């Protein structure tokens, strides 16, 4: 897999980074994981892998032509709702998420094809405003995140009949593995175990870099509850629905 070296051309480096962030933003808006895209590509038999997507989104992939062609095929399938049938490693959940997704659009609102993806990557075409870096969490979204995290954690504790101290020790390991620092690990414990002060927008924006990084608490909750990451609600869904989403998730899991 070709990984690029740092670009001496600043504008090219910026366009690559912007394209990767834009694609990631599109993926998160639609509640899609990198693994779902990988699973689709395996079912469709096109070369589009989760590792490539990860490097592409981080602006460190130097893609070959087949990558852009595969992105174009993937995007057109989403637009046409013509998806492979469910099969091994391409579940009904994967298919339903892709069926509900909207295609990636160019700056004029047209469905992006292989040429568009390449043009954006080299800076010849702008990214749609839809996929520009978001402004970050609002206080309302931070409140919803607090309610979601607390409800999901407590529901799992109740379901498994765990002591909260025991549950925290297990959950803390997931947080540490996904890079949440000691201060925010302590704050997580205060919020979801002790029912302390809610998360503030400033705090969550700090450890997610204004929504540009995945939330490590969301990922840790998926692991703690045994929910596959591909089936986990997107960060924006959690921001928008909070406690209501947590309740529906618990109902679905029963």
SS3 per residue for the chain: CCECCCCCCHHHHHHHHHHHHHHHHHHHHCCCCHHHHHHHHHHHCCCCCHHHHHHHHCCCECCCHHHHHHHHHHHHHHHHCCCCCCECCECHHHHHHHHHCCCCECCCCCECCHHHHHHHHCCCCCCCHHHCCCCCCCHHHHHHHHHHHHHHHHHHHHHHCCCHHHHHHHHHHHHHHCCCCHHHHHHHHHHHCCCCCCCCHHHHHHHHCCCCCCCHHHHHHHHHHCCCHHHCCCHHHHHHHCHHHHHHHHHHHC
Q: Specify the pLDDT at position 252.
A: 53
Q: What is the mean pLDDT of residues 227-231?
A: 79
Q: Which two tokens stand for residue 89?
A: 């490693």
Q: Which two tokens stand for residue 78?
A: 């989403």
Label residue 251 by pLDDT band (50, 70, 90). Answer: low
Q: Specify the pLDDT at position 156.
A: 95
Domain ranges for the chain, please list them.
Answer: 10-131, 139-253
- Give tens-digit pLDDT for 118-174: 999 999 999 998 898 767 899 999 999 999 999 999 999 999 999 999 999 999 999
Q: Specify the pLDDT at position 227.
A: 86
pLDDT higher at 227 or 153: 153
- Give tens-digit pLDDT for 17-53: 999 999 998 998 898 999 999 999 999 999 999 999 9
Judged against a pLDDT cut of 70, whether residue 1 lies above it is answered with no
155 C-beta neighbours (distance < 10 Å), count? 17
Q: What is the mean pLDDT of residues 233-245?
A: 91
Q: Specify the pLDDT at position 8.
A: 47
Q: Give the C-alpha separation, 73 to 43, whole Å.
A: 13
Dihedral sign from CA coordinates of 196, 201, 206, 208: positive
The mean-pLDDT minimum among 67-71, 93-97, 103-107, 207-211 falls in 207-211
Name the percent of the chain lying above pLDDT 90: 76
Q: Give the C-alpha separation, 206 to 76, whole Å.
A: 36
């Amino acid at each position: 897999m070709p990984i690029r070296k740092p670009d001496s051309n600043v504008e090219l480096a910026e366009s690559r980074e912007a394209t990767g962030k834009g694609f990631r933003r599109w993926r998160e808006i639609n509640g899609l994981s990198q693994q779902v895209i990988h699973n689709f590509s395996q079912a469709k038999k096109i070369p589009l892998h989760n590792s490539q997507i990860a490097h592409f989104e981080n602006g460190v992939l130097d893609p070959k032509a087949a990558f852009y062609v595969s992105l174009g095929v993937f995007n057109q399938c989403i637009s046409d709702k013509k998806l492979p049938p469910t099969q091994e490693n391409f579940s009904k959940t994967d298919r339903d998420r892709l069926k509900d997704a909207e295609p990636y659009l160019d700056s004029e609102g047209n469905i992006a094809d292989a040429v568009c993806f390449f043009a954006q990557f080299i800076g010849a075409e702008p990214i749609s405003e839809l996929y520009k870096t978001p402004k970050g969490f609002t206080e309302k979204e931070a409140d919803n995140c607090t309610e979601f995290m607390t409800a999901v954690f407590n529901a799992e504790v109740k379901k498994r009949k765990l002591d909260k101290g025991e549950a925290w020790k297990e959950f803390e390991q997931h947080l540490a593995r996904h890079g949440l620092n000691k201060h925010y690990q302590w704050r997580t414990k205060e919020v979801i175990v002790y029912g302390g002060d809610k998360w503030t927008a400033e705090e969550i924006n700090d450890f997610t870099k204004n929504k540009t990084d995945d939330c490590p608490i969301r990922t840790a909750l998926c692991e703690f509850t045994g929910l596959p990451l591909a089936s986990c609600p997107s960060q924006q869904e959690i921001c928008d629905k909070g406690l209501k989403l947590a309740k529906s998730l618990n109902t679905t899991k029963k």
